[in-house]
Amino acid sequence: MPYLFLGVFLFWGGISFFPSSLFAKVKFEIHDPKSVQKSLKQACKLMKKNNLITKRESMAFFDCMGEKVSARSFCLEMMRLKKIPNLRKRPFLRGVVYKEGKALCQFGRSAILSFSLKDFKKETKDSIKLCEKLRKHYAFNLQAFHFYKGKGTKRSCYYSERDKT
């Protein structure tokens, strides 16, 4: 059942994942995806926070008895502690907190973001800079390798693994 929610989430991809100044609808696709999810109680315990009462704050943060924790820092800590099996060196993309009280770490070899500039209003006029800003939230350990300017205000950012040289 959780994979059904993940599939729907990835398919529709219209999410608000940013601080209030960066609300936007973004279609997010991952190539060769892998994900690991934990309950917020498990996530708080791993982060050495009190897990008596946990709750989702946003798509990016959860609360452990009054301490705000980022889903990204949770995922990076899981990687540092080698608590994520069978990734076969897939790059880390992002951490997400679901309404169901789950923290999800997403990994993949490449990613595509599609969006309309209208959704970003005054955030930036430079689409390439916007792709880099979005990369930090959606494709953390990937690099931007292509930008596509579609019809009107439609834009796409393509990300792939960093060069291993």
More confident residue, 162 or 70: 70
Which tokens in the block code for residue 46?
A: 């791993």
As a whole-number percent, the residues of the chain with pLDDT over 90 amount to 49
Q: Which residue has the higher pLDDT, 52 or 86?
A: 52
**Mean pLDDT estimate for the chain:** 81
Exposed e or buried b for every residue in 76-105, given b needs 16+ CB within 10 A?
Answer: bbbbeeeebeeeeebbbbbbbbbeeebbbb
Instruction: Name 156's bridge partners.
Output: 114, 148
CA pseudo-torsion sign 41, 18, 112, 146: negative
pLDDT (tens digit per residue) in 23-62? 458 899 999 899 999 999 999 999 999 999 999 999 999 9
Q: With 80 as the cut, is the pLDDT of residue 8 above it?
A: no
